[in-house]
Every structure is written in C-alpha cells, then in structure tokens.
Amino acid sequence: MTRERTKLELLADGVRLSVGAVARLTATGHPLSVFEYPTTGGITICLPKVGYVNAPFHGPYAERARWTLDANPDSGAFTLIKGDESIPVRPLPLPCYLGMLDSKGRRVDEVAMSHADRVRLSPLAGCAFRCTFCDFHQKDYFFHERVVEALAIATGDTSLPPRHVLVSGGTPNARQSEMLVDLVADLVGMTVLPVDFMYTPRHDTVDWVDRLIDGGIHGLSINLELFGISALKHHAPQKAAIGRDTFSAHIERAVERFGKPGRVRSLLIVGLEPLQDTIDGVRWLCERGCQPALSPFRPAAGTPLETVAPPSLDLLTAAWEETREIAAYHGIAPAPTCVPCQNNCIAFPPEEWDWQLPGLP
C-alpha cells in the first residue's frame, strides 16, 4: 500500500507549497491553478509508480497537508517532502492557451481546458441542475457555439498536447439536451483524437447511446455521483428524480453496444454518503459491466458544502480497498484506466508503469 498511501494522502490532505515551488510554478506568468472544477483545482503532479494526482493546496487543505512540494533553486527540480521522506516529482504546467482569445475575441479557456493529456470541452455554461456540491448552476446559463475553434486551439497546445477529448460540464435543460448530443456527434467527426462524453441520462433517451456509438464515440461516462437514495435526494434532487432505472438502461445498453471493457464509466463521490452506500454503488456498477470511478469530495467555494470537511485518509483508503476487491471479482478495472486521467480519482497505473515514458506530459 506504500504507493497507494502516498496518493491517498495527497488526495485527502492536499499539499503545501514552498516559496520556491510557488516561484517556479508561476515563472511563466500563469497562476498556480485554474479553479474551474473543484476536483481539478490543485497542482497536478506526476510521481514514480504512483501515477498522477491533482493535489489541492487551498482552503481546508492549506494547513492539513502531510506533504510539501519544494523546488531546487539551482536545478529547478521538484521534490515532495514529508519528514525524512522525499520523492522526485514532475508537476504539470497549465496549458499555453490560458487567457488566449479566439477569432471573435472570446476566451478559449471558457470552453476548453487541458488536464494532463486530455482536453475538456464544455459546450454549456451553467447547469439546469442544482447539486449542493457543485457551483456550475451559479453561472449564467447559455449554450456555447464555439467549441470547434477552441478544440483546434487546444489541440495545438505545446505545454499539454492532448491525446484525447472529454466533453463534459453542466447538464442542459430538456430543450437543449438533444442539441448537446448532436454537437458531440459532430465533434467526433471533426478531430482525429478519441472523444469521450460525460452526460446525465434522461427518460426515454436510450437511443442516445446508439447514436453516439454509431457516430464513433470512444467512451461514455454516465455518472451516478451518489448511490444512496437519501444522499442523492438531498445533494442532487434532479438526478434522484431521474431514477436508477434510467441510469441502468443507459449503462447496460452502452456496455452491450461497445462489447469491450473500459468504454463505460460512472463516477461516485466519496465522502458525501455513508461508505457502505458508495460500495453498494460500486458493486451495482460492476454487476452491469461498468467501470466505477471514485472521486473524493472537495468542498467548493460558494456552494452549500463549502465548509464541509473533505473525506479523511481512512475513508479514502477503505473505499479504495473495497472497490479494488469488488472490481477484481467482476474482472473490471476501476476507472479511469488512462493513467494521466487518474489525477483526480482513486485509481493507479500498473506496477510496471514508467513515469519517464516519452510522450507523457
């Protein structure tokens, strides 16, 4: 558990940043991070054998961190330090296009943001849902019509060259949900990169699965987020109203259509419901051939949960150990299996994974 523990400590308690590390990380003029998602607002670090981890450094994590990120003033090399332990690491930069304007003078990073080797496109600003753990619904709601140019700019980024695309963001209203599916289908044909789509299913829309897979989508993320009915009704009432049967229909159809493992995932938030509910959700997903993805809860500023404590190391450890066992029993790997994309989830690369492999950010 040594390598697992290091990452779990960073996810649970975050990281402190030395003065030298801050200076080095901001030497290009970019900020330390971009807080467009709570789960990606930290510093993304690559560690030997451990893989990638997005370690928060702000808010409740500022004082509780066990590890400190430091930078050598001469070589510029980064090291994680905890007591007598030290690990050479490689923090990832922010994309070059941060703050760049498109052909009509609009910020590219309003609709695109690269994380490790993936560019995330958000065609929708705002959200039709009102989940307590998310601040997306606080933004003005409108549908972007400029993701194509943003994708082209992000694809040419030299700091974080993307190897695949994820379309995600807020949930559209019923009127625009079909527009989003059509846009994703169009995007698949506009890039040579594999495209995944993260979406919330709706009643009587299982045909989306066939339309997207027939159009060449690489993978689907159909996120439960919470499995316990009580927690779901409290934190994500609109998702609770959709009903588990609708999620099951979409997930089972996607697993059937893809016909191969690793293409259908569903995220569960660890820390907002009893652990047993989360584990029941892991088992429910694995029984349907769907990869479970564990995402530790992070309190987001401006939300009803901004003062709620993040999950402890013990809770994250227990969630991982039980998930690993259940997934292995069903012959399924916890998601994501893309190593750089594991940065904000509880997942790990194979033991033989080499962090110095060429082509990795």
pLDDT, tens digit (0-9, with 9 covering 90-100), for 305-359: 999 999 999 999 999 999 999 999 999 999 999 999 999 999 999 988 876 654 5
Q: Can you give the residue range of the structural domain that contains 63?
A: 2-91
Between the CA of residue 290 and those of 203, 224, 310, 331, what are the distances in Å? 20, 11, 26, 11
Pairing of strands 67-71, 78-82: antiparallel
Six token digits for residue 100 = 């760049």
84 falls within a domain: yes
pLDDT given for residue 196 in this prediction: 98
77 falls within a domain: yes
Q: What is the pTM of this model?
A: 0.95
- Residue given tokens 């989940």 in the structure block: 131
pLDDT given for residue 146 in this prediction: 85
pLDDT band at 361 (very low <50, low <70, confident <90, very high): low
**Where is mean pLDDT largest: 63-67, 100-104, 167-171, 210-214?**
210-214
pLDDT given for residue 357 in this prediction: 52
Give 205-249 pLDDT, tens digit per residue: 999 999 999 999 999 999 999 999 999 999 999 999 999 999 999
105 falls within a domain: no
Residue type, 342: Q
Among left, alpha and beta (phi > 0; psi -120 to 50; other), residue 169 is: left
203 falls within a domain: no
46 falls within a domain: yes
Task: Give the count of domains, the chain.
Answer: 1
291 falls within a domain: no
Over the chain, what is the mean pLDDT? 93
78 falls within a domain: yes
pLDDT band at 195 (very low <50, low <70, confident <90, very high): very high
